[in-house]
Amino acid sequence: MRILPLLLVTSVACAPPVDAPSDFESLCAFIFEHAEDEEPEAMQDGVVNLQSWLDINREKIGEGYVVKSLDEGFVERFEEQAWDLTNLVGVAYATQYEYTMDQILETIIKDDENEPRYDEEGRLTYRRTFNSDRECFLERRCDTLQYEIETIDSFAMNIEATMHYVANIVRFETEWGTAVVWRNWQLKPIAFNWDWIRFDLSYYLGVLVEIEPGLVERTEATWVLGEFANAPLPMDVALSMGVDTLIESTEELRDELAEAYP
């Protein structure tokens, strides 16, 4: 497994402060890129600016929002090889939940999902492996958590995707309230059962902020670099897939929260 402290390390102590952008298009990429910094100030400033933007522009992203691509230099360091990101597509979505941060984290980081699941053919369809202490994180005795997920997901047209990804989570306090930055990325390219679909890179960012007691705003962004029938993934298809996936996960979580906390 390759978890990087991204070589900002060589001169972090002497590096000048990084100013977080103030526009939503840039903030999602900024937060993702700076979440690996040895010093957390840039990421935290990004979250504050993101929440300040949402506070007055929330209605603009009700149906999804195109966001800035990740930086090529960052991706090259992160993936340990260069990539042409011309066709990397990023979309974002935000919503609110009338639940506490602890309730949301407990619901997402389920302990009953630790047991591997297999299909009738004996294939592993789901396994989550925690690389750090889940209970320590949920009980607020520590503020970071990491796990890996191996899964086979099914989509329309009998498409299956085999994925292996890692998730890093960090919690901290901001002037807007308790915040959590949640990132995941593929440890290897997604394998599809159709050879005309290919995703080389896939990144996810979740930012949760408890803006009031019992009210959490969740902003999610995803970036994908892929091909469809040996051509770059069409922009409209990529945007639709990305936004639909974010909205679907939003509603699934809402249903799970309603069931867990009626």
pLDDT on residue 59: 84
Closest CA to 216 of 262, 250, 252: 250
pLDDT at 184: 96
**Would 63 be classed as within a structural domain?**
no
Task: Report which DSSP code applies to 12.
Answer: G
Quickly list H helices, 58-182. Answer: 72-79, 101-108, 134-138
Written as six digits, the tokens of 214 are 């019992």
Count the domains in the chain: 1
Identify the burial level of 256 via C-beta atoms within 10 angstroms of its C-beta, where 0-12 means exposed, 13-18 middle and 19 or more buried. middle
Whether 18 is in a domain gets the answer: no
Nearest Cα neighbor of 2 from 117, 174, 148 is: 148
Q: Evaluate whether residue 185 is within a structural domain.
A: yes
Q: How many CA atoms lie within 13 A of 194 on its CB side?
A: 13
Count of beta carbons in the 10 Å neighbourhood of residue 145:
22
Looking up residue 117, the CATH number of its domain turns out to be: 3.30.530.20
The answer for residues whose C-beta is within 8 angstroms of residue 23's C-beta and 6 or more apart is 53
Instruction: Report the pLDDT value the prediction gives residue 80, as an integer from 0 to 100.
Output: 94
Position 36 scores a pLDDT of 87
> Is residue 26 one of the residues assigned to a domain?
no
C-alpha 192/C-alpha 122 separation (Å) is 18
Per the domain annotation, does 168 fall within a domain?
yes
Asked if residue 92 is part of any domain, the answer here is yes
Domain boundaries, position 103: 81-260
Q: Are 191 and 206 in contact (CB under 8 A)?
A: no
The 3-state DSSP class for residue 139 equals: coil
Q: Which two tokens stand for residue 206?
A: 């979740």
19 occurs within a structural domain:
no
Residue segments in the chain with a per-residue pLDDT below the cut of 50: 1-16
Query: Is residue 237 situated within a structural domain?
Result: yes
